[in-house]
Amino acid sequence: MAKSKILIVDDEVSMREFLEIMLSKEGYKVSSSGSGKEALKMLNDTIYDLIVSDVQMPGMNGIELLRNVKEICPDTAVIMITAYASTESGVEAMKAGAYDYITKPFKVDEIRLIIRNALEKKRLEVENILLKREIRERYSFGGILGNSSEMQRVYDLIEKIGPTKTNVLVEGESGTGKELVAKAIHYQSPRREKPFVAITCGAIPDGLMESELFGHMKGSFTGAIANKAGLFEMADGGTVFLDEIGELPLPIQVKLLRVIQERSFRRVGGTEDITVDVRIISATNKTLEEEVKKGNFREDLYYRLNVLQIRMPPLRERLSDVPILARHFIDKYANEHGKEVMGIAMEAMRILKSYSYPGNVRELENIIERGVALEQGAQLSADSLPEFIREGKGVDSHLPAIPPGGLDLEQVVGEYEKALLVSALDKAGGVKKRAAKLLNISFRSIRYRLEKYGLNTGEDSEEDSEE
């Protein structure tokens, strides 16, 4: 609130100077004007949080100014001051949208409190707007769930990255929960009490993107009927989450790069540089390095955004998390639909754990919601699951088709086992003990299999030597 911008409008010089000195000492950014017309000109360049205006002024009076302010900047709070109070003028001011109406002479503590309350009300209104936006646009599943080794790595990264000021890039397929990761980073950071503003870059038309991000001034384009603060301005002190960053048009990429480098921007049609302190977390389901090579994404912006990186694993890489996710969604939708589904049948769970989930966690949630809605018993049964899952049509098995002349089963199984061993060793950083744990086999068994396929280097790591 101390950074709030206040405009004093009064034709009486002594009153202007008194209010300007008093409010500046309170820490506000204060400007002043001697007339209504001059104040309107100032509104073309700056959006003020609050205007304190005299009612009786030559030329444009305070009530006329109030009406113009509410047309140009409807979110700006206005307090009216007058030495000639009347019930009629007070009612007129309040009807026109004034926050309060004060009579001269007034007590300093009185106007100080009224101004503080007006700004607090405005702050709460902005927070309410952001909260409604978050509720409307948030991912439908409620929390990052999973206890697999893949998710443990994600949790560790969030814990390390959260307290830093560095920009973060979250990569992963659609439906893996990238926004939940962004929120978790925000709430692990010192910015947790400030706004978290999520923007889906692919959902905003190119022509409106700049205005949505950085705001605009009245008359700057067709439909700009009032001054409007952008989402970056609303997120000042907090975090901006740019989802689907790969969809950002190239001209906006240039402006975003400037914001990152200089921490300032101008509204569309504005002349004033607006300084903001935001942390940027981006997310993409594309490979941005490839987009850079294709010329679709600026290389300099990519390096600015990709200082720290988190990869969200697809659900098919952490199928061990399916049971905990499934039970969470069963509880959620049983409550929402008023059903008495308390658990999941073993056969239904077996089917769910054998599916590859091209739509990731979001797809699993949809499957469970449908199943709960159809289920008549106390447990989610296999019959309540979609037919294509029950028949295994969506399973991504990566197994070769059997040719007309047949195949060598031992050879195919051996190649598949060898590939899994190599993959497990790679994930375990070459530590055989960890690789064995990933494959749910003993240390002795993995050493035997590695030797069988000529993969054993003959040298064990220090961690393996402890076995």
Please give the Cα distance from 233 to 46 (Å, whole number): 13
What number of residues does the chain have?
Answer: 467
On whether the CB atoms of residues 312 and 176 are closer than 8 A, the answer is yes
Residue 371 has pLDDT above 90, yes or no: yes
pLDDT tier, 301 (very low <50, low <70, confident <90, very high otherwise): very high
For residue 132, the model assigns a pLDDT of 57
Query: Among 167-171, 220-224, 385-389, which stretch is predicted with the lowest mean pLDDT?
Result: 220-224
Instruction: List C-alpha distances in Å: 427 to 153, 422, 431.
Output: 12, 9, 9
Spell out the residues 6+ positions from residue 267 whose beta carbon is closer than 8 angstroms to its own: 47, 214, 215, 216, 217, 220, 227, 228, 229, 230, 274
Cis ω for the linkage preceding 404 (within 30 of 0): no
> Nearest-5° angle of CA 167, CA 169, CA 170?
135
For residue 459, the model assigns a pLDDT of 59
Please give the Cα distance from 48 to 76 (Å, whole number): 6
Residue 273 has pLDDT above 80, yes or no: yes
Please give the Cα distance from 158 to 119 (Å, whole number): 34
> pLDDT tens across 303-347, in order?
999 999 999 999 988 998 999 999 989 988 998 888 888 889 888
Residue 108 has pLDDT above 50, yes or no: yes
More confident residue, 1 or 240: 240
5-125 and 148-311: same fold? yes
Q: Which two tokens stand for residue 236?
A: 């000042």
Domain boundaries, the chain: 5-125, 148-311, 316-390, 409-465
Residue 219 has pLDDT above 80, yes or no: no
> pLDDT tens across 128-172, in order?
776 655 544 443 233 678 888 888 888 889 989 989 989 999 999
Specify the CATH number for 409-465; select among 3.40.1050.10, 1.10.10.60, 1.20.1440.60, 1.20.1250.20: 1.10.10.60
> pLDDT tens across 253-263, in order?
998 998 898 88
> pLDDT tens across 390-441, in order?
876 544 444 455 555 666 777 777 777 887 888 788 778 788 888 888 888 8
- The fold for domain 316-390 equals Helicase, Ruva Protein; domain 3 (1.10.8)
For residue 164, the model assigns a pLDDT of 92
On whether the CB atoms of residues 184 and 144 are closer than 8 A, the answer is yes
| Domain 5-125 homologous superfamily, CATH | Response regulator (3.40.50.2300)
Q: Which of 198, 272, 265, 268 is nearest to 226 (CA)?
A: 268
For residue 396, the model assigns a pLDDT of 45
Place of tokens 């594309």: 286
Place of tokens 């003990």: 433
Residue 20 has pLDDT above 60, yes or no: yes
Q: HSE (CB half, 13 Å, CA atoms) of 318?
A: 21
- The fold for domain 148-311 equals Rossmann fold (3.40.50)
Instruction: List C-alpha distances in Å: 6 to 24, 51, 93, 429.
Output: 9, 6, 19, 59
pLDDT tier, 7 (very low <50, low <70, confident <90, very high otherwise): very high
> pLDDT tens across 46-73, in order?
888 999 998 888 889 888 999 888 887 8
Amino acid at 349: M
Place of tokens 């002795």: 444
For residue 137, the model assigns a pLDDT of 42
pLDDT tier, 90 (very low <50, low <70, confident <90, very high otherwise): confident
For residue 136, the model assigns a pLDDT of 42
For residue 453, the model assigns a pLDDT of 80
More confident residue, 98 or 466: 98
For residue 142, the model assigns a pLDDT of 36
